[in-house]
Structure 1
Amino acid sequence: MFVACLWFTRRSHKQKETAGKIGGATSATKSSLPIQSSLAYAVGTMRTNRREMMAAVLGLAAAAQARGADDSVAIPGKRPMILHNDRPEDLETPVKYFDSYLTPLDAFFVRQHIPRPGPIDPEAHRITINGMVSKPVEVSLADLRKLPQYTVPATLECTGNGRGFYSPKVPGIQWGRGAVGNAEWKGPRVSDVLKLAGADQKAAFLEFDGADTGVLSTPDFVRSMPMKKAMHPATLLALSMNGEGPAIHGFPVRLIVPGWDGTSWVKWVTRISVTAEEGKGFFMNPGYRYPKYALPPGTPARPAELEVIEGMPVKSTITAPEDQSKAGMGTVAIRGFAWAGEEAIERVEVSTDGGSKWRDAELSSPKMHFAWRLWHLDWKPADPGYYTILSRATDSAGRVQPFVPAWNPSGYLWNGIDRVGITVEKTA
């Protein structure tokens, strides 16, 4: 069975305040959860040999169309975005907008699996908590607001971000580098919400459903997660995102699962079911699964060879200079951001000669688990000519961003070393 990307679209285009912030270096909320073994094949921790380096450079060059020309379009409530689908909306953030620690809401990417629900009355909205509980309950937003509120800075990334860079190509939206964003999420902990119903101690999973429903044969978007992750102090039912509650991003209530893939962050939450087993819905199996071990590129995966995607890999992105831009012989400001799922970024290195030599970039935002760090490096080219600039990140678990991540038939978890090419011209 070939397990490919699973998309349901109609039209395609080209492309109380208590604990303060969670996730900081001195916070007691550092995740003790292990990164899933499947990620070992996607990220690696070894320096890469020359042949792999060349394969990466060639592969990224071939993928230039996925990240190249600015083909952004105007979307209501958004800056011009890269439109992949309009029903449901799949909007990618142009790299030029990544110039701040928090991604502005009008520039934040959007990924919908099925059409989003119509207008939701926040005061009438209810979340049902059922399953293995002492007493099934319906919870209102007023109930959620009465609970202690926590703020978690966290990076949200689509599982398929970077799919357009894989070779051979795989089905699905050919995302470039912009299906990611960083925000401050605020709301009560899932663990506190669950106390309202009294979860059975034997329960092992929580299943989450939202107000979005499939049409005709399209399955409902339902996700489940192990109780251990659900009870983590950074896992929230967010009531706001950067201080607002935009419906297009899943509000009035969105599940926040810091460090895990965006698929886990269920939008417009309407139901939490306490269960003994992992959910069996379409978007749990066969959807959003990753090979347990590396596959030869182009090889189909059998169901028994796949497991649920959870933690995300280490990754960096160059935001300046722009790819295929021109610069003079003066100082060139190289900057970007890096993130690492449940881990924190320890180091970012930059090469200006295609990977032969590397220099440490300066990290300019707080070291935090779950959230990205900004980095920059000033570089003075010695001579005019064409240069290839690369960036690679290392996280607190020692994982190093690879030149080439393992290919997989759904194009998930791309985290290859980022690359831009610039032409340095002699100053007149």
Structure 2
Amino acid sequence: MNAPQPNALRTTAAPLPDASPAPVLTWSEAGVPRTARWRSENGALPPRRVTVADDRTKADAAYKLACEGTALLWRGDFHNARQLLAALARRIDRRPRKPAPADDPARAFHLHRAAQSQRARILGMLLVPLDAGYGVPLHRAPDVRAACAQAYGPAPEDGGTDPAADGGTHSVVSLRELLGLVGAYEWHRKGVEIPALGGDRIHPDYGVFSPQRGEYVDLVARAPLPAEPLPLAFDIGTGSGVLAAVLARRGVRRVIGTDQDPRALACARRNAERLGVADRVEAVAADLFPAGRAPLVVCNPPWLPAKPTSSVEYAVYDPNSRMLRGFLAGLRDHLTPGGEGWLILSDLAEHLGLRTRADLLALFEAAGLTVLDRLDVAPRHAKARDTSDPLHAARAAEVTSLWRLGPTGD
């Protein structure tokens, strides 16, 4: 479920590499101006104001600085930095929030998003240094080199480049993001068990959507194929390649998965190799559809029509339903006669007031598509049962559907 970035729809062009220079963080330490490369996979800009902090820094003082927009570059014990981050989170969570109107779920959703964005901004103000090999030069710091290398590429000392290095601190990252990198690397290393693949595992790379919510995978595993044997299927927005692998395991002779994200394409190829389906699964760079037609075209777009606040959120939020609209608008032209399009979509957006069922059906009609069948499944994730979640009512009512679509008039 890796959505393309918002740009003009095209069929086969891959995204251009980012040639912009690496952002640089500047600060003063012991009266000496310093610089280092700023790292943010979330796309956050380097803080404008930075002060040095260590084990003597009090949580209340750190919280005040972070709220005012001053970042804290940590020079103390790494474990104490983690404790400070937790203390900052507690202070944020204690702040009174504007109550969400019970009769306006869309307003409640936007208030929740705004609060989460503000929380992330404040917690992102606690920074840690990285050396040229992605080591953290702090007392009691864990070894994060493998996690960083997966997210950032080869370390400077291993052949990469880092023009902003200064005084041993080659780069700086927020502690919150660094801990996220480590967590994502553990998901990658251990993998996610997929019952629809007989318990085999998918290993998601950093920045690639992880198939932890297995119900949508189960829908693809049990939906009736339009023909057997099926010679070809397209998996639009393949991400980790999990749906392409399921289709290949079901006997589809050739599956073409598309994605714009180079990380996703590399991840899908590696997973196909691990699962023994690389001879039937091909991952290609494309915005939505590859060239040609297929008797089955599958798409699992981001489920919420809202604006992402960072690059990693494009797997969840689809601005103005761009990917959904693009898939539906182009589906007829990429189906062979008698073919089907499978749209996997949660109705969470409907319960949040972000889209109505009538809106969705109108998109089908405008694209010249008719509903052949629909398979539904209730979510199994913990948030559906978490009554403290501000969006609990919507999550508890959520249903994920596989819509079997065909051209109107066929």
TM-score by length of structure 2 reads 0.25
Rg (Cα) greater in structure? 2
More helix by share: 2
Q: Which has the higher contact order (CA 8 A, sep 6+)?
A: 1
Q: Scaled by the length of structure 1, what TM-score is found?
A: 0.24
